[in-house]
Amino acid sequence: MSKQAETVRAENPPATPPSTSPVSSSSSGRMAGEERRRQLVAVAMRVFSERGFRGTTTKEIAQAAGVSEGIIFRHFATKEELYTAIIDYKACTGVSHLNQSVAEAIHCSVAEAIQRKDDRAVFEGVALHLMQHHENDTEFLRLLFYSALEGHQLSQIFWDRNVRLMYEFLGAYIRERQHEGVFRPVDPLVVVRAFSGMLIHHSVTNILWDTSRSLLDISNEAAAREFTEILLRGIAADANAATSSATTTTTTTTQPTRRDPSKRGAAALPTGRAKKKK
Binding positions for DNA, rule: CB under 7 A = 2, 4-8, 12-13, 17-23, 25-34, 36, 56-59, 66-71, 73-74, 77-80, 272-276, 278
Per partner kind, with CB cut-offs from 5 to 8 A, the member of a copy of itself, DNA, none near residue 222 is a copy of itself
- Contact call for residue 235 and a copy of itself (CB under 8 A): yes
| Segment interacting with a copy of itself (CB under 8 A) among 3-11, 19-27, 30-38, 152-160 | 152-160
Site map 62..101 versus a copy of itself, x via CB under 8 A: ----------------------------------------
Number of residues that bind a copy of itself (CB under 8 A): 60
The alpha carbon of 195 is separated from its chain's Cα centroid by a whole number of angstroms, namely 17
Question: Which of 88, 78, 83, 81 is CA-nearest to residue 53?
Answer: 83
| Segment interacting with a copy of itself (CB under 8 A) among 6-14, 64-72, 78-86, 162-170 | 162-170
Quickly list DSSP for 168-232.
HHHHHHHHHHHHTTSB----HHHHHHHHHHHHHHHHHIIIII-TT-SS----HHHHHHHHHHHHH
Compute the distance between CA of residue 109 and CA of residue 107 in angstroms, rounded to an integer: 5
Strands (E), 38-159: none
Phi, psi dihedral angles at 183 (to 5 degrees): -105, 145
Nearest distance from C-beta of residue 229 to a copy of itself, angstroms:
6
Compute the distance between CA of residue 38 and CA of residue 263 in angstroms, rounded to an integer: 27
Note the residues at the interface with a copy of itself (CB under 8 A): 51-52, 54-55, 142, 145-146, 148-150, 155-156, 159, 163-164, 167, 186-187, 189-191, 193-194, 196-202, 205, 208-209, 212, 214-218, 222-223, 225-227, 229-236, 248-251, 254, 258-260
